[in-house]
Structure formats: structure tokens, C-alpha cells
Amino acid sequence: MRPIVNQALAIPEMQFAFECICADDKKEPTDYTDAEIVKEAEYRLATYFEDGHINNDEMRLGDDPESNEIAKKDIRLLKAFIKKYKTNI
């Protein structure tokens, strides 16, 4: 498996994304191009800053401190992932 796919699958939010989009597209994570994977990571990151999105609620208003920490961790992981792979595509 390509390193970008392995690293994407190590991010919980991207793992969830693949579960959704792979089912819709009838593809495997390895079927997506590097550019498509980075674009999905950028979209997932943006949802944390989009009013009304559940990820935004988890980040800002999480009823459970644990969910807030998970959101912050996903944001850090997504930013690092995008920084690493966006320059390589």
C-alpha cells in the first residue's frame, strides 16, 4: 500500500471518510490518486471550521472534553498530513 494511503488511514477522520466515500464510489482507498486523497483531507479539515457541521460542534462545543480532544488531535493530524503530501502532488 502506498505511504500516503497508510498515513491517511492512520487518521481517524480520514478512516471515516474512506468508509463513506469508498462505499459510495465502490472503490478501495488505494484506488484514489494522491491528489484526491489530499483534497479529501483538506475538505475534512475544513469541516472543523464550518458552522453547523458536527465536526465544528465537536471542536468548539463538545459536551464531552474527550470528544473535544479527539477533534483537536484530528485537526493536528490532518494539517500535518496535508503539509506533508500537498507539496508532493
Residues 33 and 59: their CA atoms lie apart, in Å, by 29
Q: Taking a C-beta distance cutoff of 8 angstroms, is the pair 59, 72 a contact?
A: yes
The answer to whether residue 52 scores a pLDDT higher than 80 is no
pLDDT at position 88 is: 65
pLDDT at position 2 is: 95
Higher per-residue pLDDT: 71 or 13: 13
Q: Whose CA is closest to 42, among 85, 4, 5, 88?
A: 85
Q: Taking a C-beta distance cutoff of 8 angstroms, is the pair 42, 35 a contact?
A: no
Query: Would the CA dihedral through 47, 40, 18, 21 be positive or negative?
Result: positive
